[in-house]
Structure 1
Amino acid sequence: MTAYSARWWHLLDDGRIQCDLCPRDCRLHAGQRGACFVRAREGDGMVLTTWGRSSGFCVDPIEKKPLNHFYPGSAVLSFGTAGCNLACKFCQNWDISKSREMDTLADQASPEQLAAAARRLGCQSVAFTYNDPVVFAEYAMDIAACCREQSIKTVAVSAGYIHDVPRREFFSWMDAANIDLKAFTDQFYFKLCGGHLEPVLDTLRYLHHETEVWLEITTLLIPGQNDSDQELGLLCDWVMTTLGPEVPLHFTAFHPDYKMTALAPTSAATLARARRIGLAAGLHYVYTGNVHDAEGGTTRCPACGSVAIERDWYAILAYHLDETGGCEHCGTLLAGCYQRFQGGFGRKRIPVRLAGP
């Protein structure tokens, strides 16, 4: 097992070690692991057991993260490790995030190798995804440092469940983030995720108001759990009043999985309804995901209403922005990060192997 000295912990008076990474505040006796399973006590210190090990690597379209306003059409090298600091009963990647079989992490790469691979594969960015990068923050930060040397961007796909001090250090290395706002009630977070809502809202406030990290938000809509008009209205109003109209919001479809297999998949009508609520709240960019919905995937200029980027799922069918993100029809600059468009990466997803260290 690979072990790497972890950060953000302190020794308690009773001899236990407290992990200070996330609001779970796990307190560990000798030989114990945190709730995430990958941060463990070793002697009088803490180690990250998954440093340098991955559950796999893929080259994806950036829109799959989902990020619709961060260099649209570009390719991203995606990877994850194992473990998670939430316990979502509906987890769509439970075989990775809930893994307790560390030997399944067969793919290995040093930060230097991973950054070099991203450049070799033509990827504009590296995404820490599949499981939450908060639990492998040290590894992600080391990779991000190497990526910066190669002019490769880094993306965190996260639930945002993290304490303030590590939050500031971790996101100082990120160029973009998609934060999973799972619902807008603490009851949902407590009963279905084993966590709380407020730390996630703190992360969203911090990212938008105190950093240059490009931010988008995703909410997975689960039938009967977080998809009422009232809750969606409150969520959209909070994003509008606290973050502003230019933060993209993605409503994505749930499919039955993990411990919630008895529920039906999210209907296209529910996603369309949620999108209407977001637009009515004043948000400029509200998207639907995990379904074919041409209008729900299309970016429109908030000033003139013209199509700026037309999408079919992850494929870009039309692109009407200049290299600065200016609308070709009226010149309005759209929120986001842009470059000269040379044709999108498309819907393809390419698994890759990286040589071991």
Structure 2
Amino acid sequence: MFYTKGPEEQVNCQVCPRLCNIPPGKRGFCRVRENMGGILYATNYAECSSYALDPIEKKPLYHFYPGKLIFSLGTVGCNLRCGFCQNWQIAQETPSTTRISPEQAVELALEQKKRGYPCVGLAYTYSEPFMWYEYVYDTAKLARDAGLKNVLVTNGYVNEQPLRELLPYIDAMNIDVKAFTDDFYRSTCAGRLDPVLRTVEVAHGHCHIEITTLLITGLNDNQEEISSLVDWLAGVDPDMPLHFSRYFPNYKLDLPPTPEETLMRARDLARQKLHYVYIGNAPQLKSSSTTCPGCGTVLIDREGYRTQVGEISDGTCPGCGKRISLVT
């Protein structure tokens, strides 16, 4: 899906902002979309590198069926080259895969429900789901027909037309906004910022969205940049949850882990304009519980992946009656 044909059997991929021109026999930047005789093929279709039944909070999604589980699966390949990638073994390498058809993926999720697990659906995660576009599209349609929810955990680096065609089948997204400067995206991720922001803006209103930003020591953790991120997000929707995640050295980046003080400052700054702000990868900071932005009542108590949902079945805070942004 989403490519045009050029001279001498070249093809131009239209899925993401790279718009790769791919000669015959070659693959695009993502390493999984290949030109075979003037036709673009998704070589990773139904090829699954990882799958598991995960807590929904692991995505992380804190305001979408809190305390539930979701059947998660991912493939190989990515359209960014983040030097700090946490899943580089499947995003940038060529691991072994298991073939799982769309029908089998839906059946696996349904099987979890039959076994008594509180599984709400399918999450396309671990690697970049937009580089698995055709498979996600086909699977999400089947999942929707089966009464399951569909979740994307994504870098948001996708063109608007493919995004809009997939959104009718997507119930929630966690979108990585990796930084708030184009320089960071170009130098550290081999990408651009604007398409990611556009993805958030287009998806908003079509499905539930939460944002994750990994704060990396000395690269994207200064107060001015965080303020710009918060101002933009508040302009889109101050109810949209923001997760600041703690960086640890991985892949090609060996900077020191994010100081706890940096994470706390970012959280406090963001809470001036956003209603729901969390800290991830730092359980000792105890900043993962959901509190009412009106009166401070603890609505959802979290410790690790243990989640206790309070009395908010009617969507309002039991302490002050304020409506809470939550999908249950």
What TM-score results when the alignment is normalised by the length of structure 2?
A: 0.95
Mapped pair 1:91 → 2:91: no
Find the counterpart in structure 1 of residue 222 from structure 2: 228
Distance 1:189 1:224 in 2: 15
How far off its partner does 1:207 sit? 1.1
How far off its partner does 1:329 sit? 2.1
Find the counterpart in structure 2 of residue 256 from structure 1: 249
Find the counterpart in structure 2 of residue 288 from structure 1: 279
Aligned Cα root-mean-square deviation (Å)? 1.3
The number of residues matched between the two structures is: 323
Alignment of 1:140-219 (within 5 A): 140-208=136-204, 211-219=205-213
Find the counterpart in structure 2 of residue 299 from structure 1: 290
Question: What is the SS of the residue equivalent to 1:171?
Answer: helix
Among 2, 6, 15, the alignment partner of 1:12 is 6
Percent of aligned positions that are identical: 41
Distance 2:285 2:221 in 1: 21
Contact 1:294-1:313 at 8 Å conserved across structures: no
Contact 1:246-1:285 at 8 Å conserved across structures: yes
The residue type equivalent to 2:133 in the other structure is A
Contact 2:214-2:245 at 8 Å conserved across structures: yes
Distance 2:305 2:167 in 1: 26
- 1:163-219 deviation line (CA, Å, top 9, x unaligned): 1111111222210000000000000000000010000010011111xx421000000
Distance 2:93 2:167 in 1: 25
Distance 1:269 1:136 in 2: 38
Find the counterpart in structure 2 of residue 266 from structure 1: 258
- 1:255-290 deviation line (CA, Å, top 9, x unaligned): 111110x2111122221111011012x100000001
Distance 2:136 2:286 in 1: 35
Alignment of 1:130-145 (within 5 A): 130-145=126-141
Find the counterpart in structure 2 of residue 51 from structure 1: 45
Distance 2:11 2:47 in 1: 25
Mapped pair 1:76 → 2:70: yes
Structure 1 residues without counterparts, runs of 5 or longer: 1-6, 339-357
Distance 1:311 1:206 in 2: 30
Find the counterpart in structure 1 of residue 116 from structure 2: none
How far off its partner does 1:325 sit? 2.6
Distance 1:226 1:321 in 2: 38
Distance 1:178 1:197 in 2: 16
How far off its partner does 1:293 sit? 4.2
Change (3 A) 1:115 1:328: same
Find the counterpart in structure 2 of residue 349 from structure 1: none
Question: What is the SS of the residue equivalent to 2:142?
Answer: helix
Find the counterpart in structure 2 of residue 38 from structure 1: 32
Moved over 6 A (4+): none
Distance 1:334 1:270 in 2: 28
Question: What is the SS of the residue equivalent to 1:88?
Answer: coil
Distance 2:320 2:139 in 1: 40
Question: What is the SS of the residue equivalent to 1:172?
Answer: helix
Distance 1:59 1:173 in 2: 21
The residue type equivalent to 1:174 in the other structure is I
The residue type equivalent to 2:140 in the other structure is A
Structure 2 residues without counterparts, runs of 5 or longer: 114-118
The residue type equivalent to 2:99 in the other structure is Q
How far off its partner does 1:59 sit? 0.7
Mapped pair 1:329 → 2:319: yes
Question: What is the SS of the residue equivalent to 1:326?
Answer: coil
How far off its partner does 1:83 sit? 0.1
Contact 1:27-1:34 at 8 Å conserved across structures: yes
Contact 1:290-1:313 at 8 Å conserved across structures: no
Distance 1:337 1:45 in 2: 41
Distance 1:320 1:73 in 2: 11
How far off its partner does 1:120 sit? 1.2
Distance 2:21 2:206 in 1: 34
Distance 1:254 1:324 in 2: 37
Instruction: Using the TM superposition, name which of 213-222 and 119-128 deviates more.
Output: 119-128
Contact 1:83-1:132 at 8 Å conserved across structures: yes
Distance 1:87 1:232 in 2: 22
Find the counterpart in structure 2 of residue 108 from structure 1: 99
The residue type equivalent to 1:65 in the other structure is K
Question: What is the SS of the residue equivalent to 2:271?
Answer: helix
